[in-house]
């Protein structure tokens, strides 16, 4: 099982593998197979059917994090802090403490760069392990007017590098880089000594994360360019459901071997 220390030592080694999970069932499938599981607030879209992550609540995240920790007791679990739960140091400490008090998560993740450095410092000084998140930050979708890829010019690249340095200095042990031009993600990775975990950020980060329902083809609403689909999950389920419907309607199920 990974620890903060072994994750930090993974800088520039074999890439770290991170996948999201929202429930005990899938967490159990991922247990021991990946370096970290992220209980992402993306669950608000794929699991809860909302249009973005913003209406995810702390209660939702606590519920799902508890379930994931039960399903994957041997894997390092990160709980995403939802929108509005870390707007100032006091709220951040209170709400992140609830994650440690009420779940077995090992770390929390918060979105934002240098403007969140004080918050990250308050958390890390109070023994809470923090993962940063920079670049395309889904919690900024409304204030930025969409999901906008970052690092498209030198000014943006410099800002991202400064953000990553501020997050590292504040005590975060790794940082997610989302939706950033590959060469800029590489420059960020080279500029800091904590591991970077990329999503839509090219191949040169210290690890990769994917949302499980994207990677396994269950989320059909849209498919971002950066997702590689490893399974046609939705088709498999729909075909299996068709077979079940057919068997029930034709009285093929239950057969004698399913009958007491
Ligand atoms: O919520 C989430 O799943 C995330 C990943 C996209 C990194 O933050």
| Interval between CA 240 and ligand 1 midpoint (Å) | 29
Ligand 1 atom, smallest distance to 109 CA: 8
pLDDT for 7 equals 98
Is 257 among the residues known to form the active site?
no
pLDDT for 246 equals 98
pLDDT for 222 equals 81
pLDDT for 257 equals 97
pLDDT for 141 equals 97
Phi, psi of 80 (to 5 degrees): -75, 135
Q: Is 111 in the pocket of ligand 1 (CB under 6 A)?
A: no
Q: Is 41 in the pocket of ligand 1 (CB under 6 A)?
A: yes
For ligand 1, mutation pick of 17, 80, 112, 226 (most atoms within 8 Å of CB): 80
pLDDT for 251 equals 98
Q: Is 213 in the pocket of ligand 1 (CB under 6 A)?
A: no
Listing DSSP states for the chain in one string gives: ---HHHHHTTTTSSPEEEEE--SHHHHHHHTTTSSEEEE-TTHHHHTT--SSSTT--HHHHHHHHHHHHHH-TTSEEEEEPPTTS-SSHHHHHHHHHHHHHHS--SEEEEEBSGGGHHHHHHHHHTT--EEEEEES-GGGTTTTTS---B--SHHHHHHHHHHHHHHHHTT-SEEEEESB-HHHHHHHHHH-SS-EEEESS-S-SSEEEE-HHHHTT---S---TT------HHHHHHHHHHHHHHHHHTT-SS-GGG--
d(CA 174, CA 33): 20
pLDDT for 44 equals 97
Ligand 1 atom, smallest distance to 176 CA: 7
Q: Is 42 in the pocket of ligand 1 (CB under 6 A)?
A: yes
Domains, the chain, in order of start with CATH, read 4-229 (3.20.20.60), 232-260 (no CATH)
Catalytic-role residue among 111, 178, 190, 220: 178
- What pTM was estimated for this model as a whole? 0.97
Q: Is 58 in the pocket of ligand 1 (CB under 6 A)?
A: no
pLDDT for 105 equals 98
- For the chain, 260 residues long, give each residue's pLDDT as a single digit of tens: 999 999 999 999 999 999 999 999 999 999 999 999 999 999 999 899 999 999 999 999 999 999 999 999 999 999 999 999 999 999 999 999 999 999 999 999 999 999 999 999 999 999 999 999 999 999 999 999 999 999 999 999 999 999 999 999 999 999 999 999 999 999 999 999 999 999 999 999 999 999 999 999 998 888 889 999 999 999 999 999 999 999 999 999 999 999 99
């Amino acid at each position: 099982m990974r620890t903060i220390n072994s994750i930090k030592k993974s800088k520039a080694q074999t890439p770290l593998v991170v996948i999201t999970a929202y429930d005990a069932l899938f967490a159990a499938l991922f247990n021991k197979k990946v370096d970290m599981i992220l209980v992402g607030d993306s669950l608000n879209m794929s699991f809860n059917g909302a249009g973005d992550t913003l209406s995810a609540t702390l209660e939702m995240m606590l519920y799902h994090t508890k379930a994931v920790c039960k399903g994957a007791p041997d894997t390092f679990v990160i709980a995403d802090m939802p929108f509005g739960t870390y707007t100032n140091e006091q709220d951040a400490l209170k709400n992140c403490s609830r994650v440690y008090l009420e779940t077995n998560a090992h770390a929390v993740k918060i979105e934002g760069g240098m403007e969140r450095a004080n918050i990250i410092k308050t958390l890390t000084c109070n023994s809470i392990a923090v993962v940063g998140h920079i670049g395309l930050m889904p919690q900024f979708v409304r204030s930025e007017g969409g999901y906008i890829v970052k690092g498209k010019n030198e000014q943006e690249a410099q800002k991202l590098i400064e953000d990553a340095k501020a997050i590292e200095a504040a005590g975060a042990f790794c940082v997610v880089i989302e939706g950033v031009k590959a060469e800029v993600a590489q420059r960020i990775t080279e500029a800091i000594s904590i591991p970077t975990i990329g999503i839509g950020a090219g191949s040169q980060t210290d690890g990769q994360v994917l949302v499980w329902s994207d990677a396994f083809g269950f989320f059909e609403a849209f498919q971002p360019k950066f997702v590689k689909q490893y399974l046609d999950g939705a088709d498999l389920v729909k075909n299996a459901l068709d077979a079940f419907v057919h068997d029930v309607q034709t009285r093929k199920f239950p057969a004698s071997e399913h009958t007491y």
